[in-house]
Amino acid sequence: MPTYRAPVKDMTFIINEVVRLQNYANLPGFEDATPDIIQAILEEGGKLAEEVLQPINQSGDAEGCTRHDDGSVTTPKGFKEAFKLYAEGGWMGLSAATEYGGQGLPHVLSSAMEELGCGANLAFNMYPGLTHGAIAAISLAASDELKEKYLPKMIAGDWTGTMNLTEPHCGTDLGMMRSKAEPQSDGSYKITGTKIFISAGEHDLTENIIHLVLAKIPGGPEGIKGVSLFLVPKFMVNGDGSLGERNGVACGSIEEKMGIHANSTCVLNYDGATGWLVGEEHKGMRAMFIMMNAARLGVGIQGLGLSEVAYQNAVDYANDRLQGRALTGPVNEDGPADPIIVHPDVRRMLMDLRAFNEGARALALWTALQGDLMHKSPDEAERQRASDLMGLMTPVIKGVFTDAGYANATTAQQCYGGHGYIKEWGMEQFVRDARITQIYEGTNGIQAMDLVGRKLPRDGGRAVREYFALLQSVLEDAGADERMAEFIAPMQAAIADLQGASMWLMQNAMQDPNHAGAGATAYMHLLGLVALGHMWILIVKAAHEALDGGTEDPDFYNNKLITARYFFARMLPDTAADRRKVEAGAAPVMALAANAF
Amino acid sequence: MPTYRAPVKDMTFIINEVVRLQNYANLPGFEDATPDIIQAILEEGGKLAEEVLQPINQSGDAEGCTRHDDGSVTTPKGFKEAFKLYAEGGWMGLSAATEYGGQGLPHVLSSAMEELGCGANLAFNMYPGLTHGAIAAISLAASDELKEKYLPKMIAGDWTGTMNLTEPHCGTDLGMMRSKAEPQSDGSYKITGTKIFISAGEHDLTENIIHLVLAKIPGGPEGIKGVSLFLVPKFMVNGDGSLGERNGVACGSIEEKMGIHANSTCVLNYDGATGWLVGEEHKGMRAMFIMMNAARLGVGIQGLGLSEVAYQNAVDYANDRLQGRALTGPVNEDGPADPIIVHPDVRRMLMDLRAFNEGARALALWTALQGDLMHKSPDEAERQRASDLMGLMTPVIKGVFTDAGYANATTAQQCYGGHGYIKEWGMEQFVRDARITQIYEGTNGIQAMDLVGRKLPRDGGRAVREYFALLQSVLEDAGADERMAEFIAPMQAAIADLQGASMWLMQNAMQDPNHAGAGATAYMHLLGLVALGHMWILIVKAAHEALDGGTEDPDFYNNKLITARYFFARMLPDTAADRRKVEAGAAPVMALAANAF
């Protein structure tokens, strides 16, 4: 049976010493996030993850969800009780608006909690995860009336939320959707259509479910420009907040999937269901993107959470399993063999995961801070820059973290040899669960296209220019310390690769957009490596400062330096291969006739 | 439901025009392998794969194997009938010795058939696959008496075989094994112990199963030097070949696995079972390695087979699924959207798979030819060189092809978007099935260590020097044609990376073996890319020759050139990153204290 240890120490290190949250105490909500409070919150969250969520992860996978003939869905044993504890702990509202009952704390904290939940139990964490996205969309786009009616219950964890986009014939290309919304005289709409792949679409965790549904109002513009967003509750809500009649939405079936068995993936049939417009008519995609951007960062963090738990278990196994002898002579002389962690190829696997996890955790929390800054900073220039950086990093975190999450879960499973393939060890579940993160909320190919086709050229390339300027100032700042030279040199080479690839795309993609498409995934991974390198520079700097200041835990900081050296020697230089792929252009990719494949 | 089309045309192209089997007609068995015969055999094998094996692949996964209280195991519906057709078709004995009823044809052909079986149904193909390994070990190491008693029935497909190595506490490190074999007065041994992860260990396909079992004879040398190999039939075989009493071996349980559900993975309990020594006492590993080397090539081909079937289905889906518009303008103007194959990032995925599959198929068949030459060539120097090259390529094909098989099955699944995660589409089964190939027959980390620790330094590095000389002569030969320049330049850069990395290892691994271990996996992938590049040079050369000769199918050959350009532009240059990882040495990998992970 796998275990999970909440990485609270690494999180507080990143928040206090790398991202340095205390520098932003002037922002609303940040004044409460003192190091003591942060520590207390993450320890409490870690306890929930370790003691409540993790123990029902493997059993939840084995049991799965069950749909009954009446369309109701039962979640696995223990999920309802766990959700109650999650809601009672106030976790749903950690960063939500105080006026609707939230705690208004920085997203840096709720992002850290997101990792803990996903590391412990991804299928469980999707139920609150989707609710967070729905809360974000309602908060930013819905009328005050809808907010007052729905947000308090959702923020309290009494009700959950969903996102309804996909239909059988359209996923990425939502302009083709057929679901329709007919306006009624009372200002509501009647929604009719079929939505598929609706995570957490039906369950027994809460008494109501608030669906956010994309549909077309008849007579509106064609395609994606005629799509509107609606709020459709499972049960109607009376004026006094009590629940009324069942609405016209029902779960037609649940999907048989590769993984995340404990999350119900539903076909939802809307048959004249009553809904209310969120935002403006035909501007549904704008509202949906608020939700999707929040969800995409959340999915990236899912990849990180799975990579972390897979790493922890692989480390435990590598320290326990005796097999063979160290190449340089026995280290466990009295035993029949050495633990496999002595073998360099096993360490290579573990170091790959460790160096990713620690850098990615910093990047996730750094990006969450940009998300706070873009809304809360009093300085307009800072808000804009944070919004630009957030936009640039969102597809990178979604795409790169989930590709890594899957690869790393696979690598951790590999450390187990044959036992990794056997269900009872639990490693293969991490792989099956991680696989969905590369697909949902926009496949990683779509993330890459969002990056090179939208985020990169937008505003004349302002975001990436701002990022290069930031990297420059980080290196200048770090460069004053001679001990940073060993890290700065490979970082400069990686930045040069990113600059070269960016320049190539800007010069060539205008004349042939297939150049952008052909290099998109490689470019996304290139930017991801540079962004991780950026974090490792900050981590190393923080480690030197702690060591210079006579920390009581020098091992912790020295291990940061050791792990950084692995990252800069073995992982970051892959930027060269990514750049070469970008600069190979469209021809090799597009030359074959479609019918010749 | 997935489909499968046997790639017979590509196989005959490789056999006749790339590997050029007709140049070896002087070897025994090869004189019968004329192009007509090859075509007929592969078409027949392709029919079996497409019409018999593939249709029971998905149902076999869903149903799995069932162990009954009496220890018997039932395979899924249709497997028994399919195995009968496989045996009746003579496929078990395609390359087996004619004196025991085999057809004695080149291994090039049986390797091609191996790919067809694995592409259609991996879990099924493991039953004959393990039998092939057992036949190889008995043929080369057992006494004539054992050969005469067991080989004809195994080659006819009346009985299957297994390999019994792993015990609960030892997999890679077989020196720790506890199973014991007590000599009896009649020359037989009584075998007692528990073996785990025994693929095809118990089933209902045939009336008898011949287990090859590693065990220790009491009083023998400690560790791996005291391991012997035994033949242990499930049912005793009488003098007249009829079956006698049940032997003392029983299936204790079958494992719940991530995939290959239709193959029974057994715990086998030996309780004083009667067995006969294969080869010499205490020299069991030598005999077992014969079997394992054959099995490792077979497992590599499993990776290729899965990559091919996953590719085919992804192509079909990409041509069918309408979503979005081509970046350069609509191609399906009358439809609601374009097929997703217009999108460069989808093509990137498909081209990655295609370029691997075609190059890997050539490499598998080229290596199978070395396997034939090392036994059958009349020229001792040629036998030795073939044996060296075979030894060098065996871990590469096992490790690189299965890493690619898993990655490519995952990529093909990605082309399906959300549907790829749903069981009924069948893509996730390819991923789950492919995963085991990286683990069994020695994990890929073990393959990498076999390569850098054993195959590379052996005989003063003779094998790799021979390989460099071969590459040199291939490039000189190809270089006479100006049109080859675009392929030769990147190939020379890749060879330089391989030479640099080889040199670095030879200079540094002696003083610190951890240098070899830390770079082993990167080196294996580097050699794999160069070997695929070698094949693509041969393929391009053959394509030019066919085009110059006025072929009736110029598209087939032009598409080879297009796919080669993709390989040389986008895949081969990754050798630079692999080389950099090798040359980073042991320090970054080994610096962290074991208890600090």
Note the pLDDT tens digit of each residue in A487-539: 999 999 999 999 999 999 999 998 999 999 999 999 999 999 999 999 999 99
Q: Does residue B290 carry a pLDDT above 80?
A: no
Q: What's the whole-number mean pLDDT along residues B120-139? A: 96
3-state secondary structure at position B371: helix
ipTM above threshold 0.90 = yes
CA B171 – CA B177 distance, rounded (Å):
9
Give B314's pLDDT tier (boundaries 50, 70, 90). very high
Nearest to B231 by CA among B326, B134, B317: B134
Task: Give the closest-approach CA distance of A579 to chain B in angstroms.
Answer: 10
Note the pLDDT tens digit of each residue in B500-537: 999 999 999 989 999 999 999 999 999 999 999 999 99
Nearest to B397 by CA among B308, B301, B467: B301
User: Which of A323, A348, A525 is the best mutation test for B, with the most CBs of B within 10 A?
Assistant: A348
Residue of chain A minimizing CA distance to B339: A594
| H or E element, residue B125 | helix B122-141
What percent of chain A clears pLDDT 90, i.e. is strictly above it? 96
Look at the alpha carbons of A122, A126, A132, A136 in this order and tell me if their dihedral is positive or negative: positive
A30, two tokens: 């940040």
Q: A345–B518: do the CB atoms touch at under 8 Å?
A: yes
Task: Give the closest-approach CA distance of B97 to chain A in angstroms.
Answer: 33
B168, two tokens: 């609960």
Nearest to A202 by CA among A59, A89, A68, A61: A68
pLDDT of A287? 83
B134, two tokens: 């057992």
CA A343 – CA A341 distance, rounded (Å):
5
Q: Cβ atoms within 10 A of the Cβ of A185, count?
A: 5
Residue of chain B minimizing CA distance to A440: B418
Q: What is the DSSP letter of A75?
A: P
CA A418 – CA A427 distance, rounded (Å):
11
CA B537 – CA B572 distance, rounded (Å):
12
- Name the phi and psi angles at B177, rounded to 5: -65, 150
Q: Does residue A93 carry a pLDDT above 80?
A: yes
CA angle B304, B305, B309 (to 5 degrees): 115
pLDDT of B292? 83
**Buried/exposed A198-216: b ≥16 CB within 10 Å, e otherwise:** bbbbbbbbbebbbbbbbbb
Q: What's the whole-number mean pLDDT along residues A276-300? A: 90
A205, two tokens: 């965790």
- Name the phi and psi angles at A332, rounded to 5: -120, 65
- Choose the catalytic residue: A148, A441, A466, A476: A441
Ramachandran region, residue B157 (left: φ > 0; alpha: ψ -120 to 50; beta: rest): left
Tell me which residue in B345, B351, B418 faces A445 most closely, judged by beta carbons: B345
Q: Which sequence positions of B are flagged as catalytic?
A: 441
A407-410: Cβ within 8 A, 24+ apart: A408/A306, A408/A307, A408/A310, A408/A311, A408/A352, A408/A353, A408/A356, A408/A357, A409/A306, A409/A307, A409/A310, A409/A433, A409/A434, A410/B406, A410/B435
Q: A444–B414: do the CB atoms touch at under 8 Å?
A: yes
The answer to whether residues A179 and A220 touch, using CB atoms and an 8 Å cutoff, is: no
Terminal-residue alpha carbon distance, chain A = 44
pLDDT of B103? 96
CA B510 – CA B190 distance, rounded (Å):
43
Q: A588–B574: do the CB atoms touch at under 8 Å?
A: no
Q: A518–B347: do the CB atoms touch at under 8 Å?
A: yes
More confident residue, A245 or B175: A245
CA A586 – CA A294 distance, rounded (Å):
32
CA A386 – CA A373 distance, rounded (Å):
6
Tell me which residue in A256, A343, A570 faces B422 most closely, judged by beta carbons: A256
**Buried/exposed A164-173: b ≥16 CB within 10 Å, e otherwise:** bbbbebbbbb
CA B411 distance to own-chain centroid: 20
Distances (CA, A) of A305 to A125, A238, A433: 11, 39, 11
CA A454 distance to own-chain centroid: 20
CA A181 – CA A213 distance, rounded (Å):
10
Q: Which residues of A touch B493 (CB under 8 A)?
A: none
CA A415 – CA B597 distance, rounded (Å):
14
Task: Give the closest-approach CA distance of B3 to chain A in angstroms.
Answer: 15
CA B359 – CA B36 distance, rounded (Å):
24
Q: B324–A197: do the CB atoms touch at under 8 Å?
A: no
Note the pLDDT tens digit of each residue in B540-553: 999 999 999 999 99
CA A130 – CA A161 distance, rounded (Å):
6
CA B200 – CA B126 distance, rounded (Å):
7
Ramachandran region, residue A247 (left: φ > 0; alpha: ψ -120 to 50; beta: rest): beta
Q: A439–B420: do the CB atoms touch at under 8 Å?
A: yes
Q: What's the whole-number mean pLDDT along residues B555-576? A: 98
Q: Which residues of B touch A408 (CB under 8 A)?
A: none
Residue of chain A minimizing CA distance to B315: A597
**Buried/exposed A143-163: b ≥16 CB within 10 Å, e otherwise:** eeebbebbbbbbbbbebbbbb
pLDDT of B402? 98
CA A485 – CA A496 distance, rounded (Å):
16
Tell me which residue in B348, B435, B577 faces A589 most closely, judged by beta carbons: B348
CA angle B157, B207, B72 (to 5 degrees): 125
Residue type, B138: I
A369, two tokens: 């801070």
Q: What is the DSSP letter of A53?
A: I
A447, two tokens: 């993330």
The answer to whether residues A585 and A519 touch, using CB atoms and an 8 Å cutoff, is: yes
Note the pLDDT tens digit of each residue in A411-429: 999 999 999 999 999 999 9
Q: Which residues pair with A269 in a beta bridge?
A: A194, A250
Tell me which residue in A421, A581, A591 faces B565 most closely, judged by beta carbons: A591
Task: Give the closest-approach CA distance of A584 to chain B in angstroms.
Answer: 6
Nearest to A325 by CA among B564, B341, B173, B336: B173
Nearest to B314 by CA among B430, B220, B202, B396: B430
Tell me which residue in B345, B516, B565 faces A588 most closely, judged by beta carbons: B565
Look at the alpha carbons of B467, B473, B477, B479 in this order and tell me if their dihedral is positive or negative: positive
Q: Does residue A130 carry a pLDDT above 90?
A: yes
Note the pLDDT tens digit of each residue in A133-153: 999 999 989 999 999 999 999
More confident residue, B294 or B255: B255
Q: Which residues of A touch B315 (CB under 8 A)?
A: 597
Residue of chain B minimizing CA distance to A430: B258
CA B2 – CA B426 distance, rounded (Å):
6
Q: What is the DSSP letter of B25?
A: T
Task: Give the closest-approach CA distance of A461 to chain B in angstroms.
Answer: 20
Residue of chain B minimizing CA distance to A589: B348
Q: Which residue has the tokens 């110029």?
A: B554
Distances (CA, A) of B310 to A202, A504, B112, B304, B425: 33, 33, 17, 10, 11
How many interface pairs between A and B have CB atoms less than 8 angstroms apart? 249
pLDDT of A286? 85
Note the pLDDT tens digit of each residue in B100-109: 999 999 999 9
Nearest to A87 by CA among A39, A120, A123, A131: A131
Q: Taking all residues of chain B, what is their mean pLDDT, rounded to a whole number?
A: 97
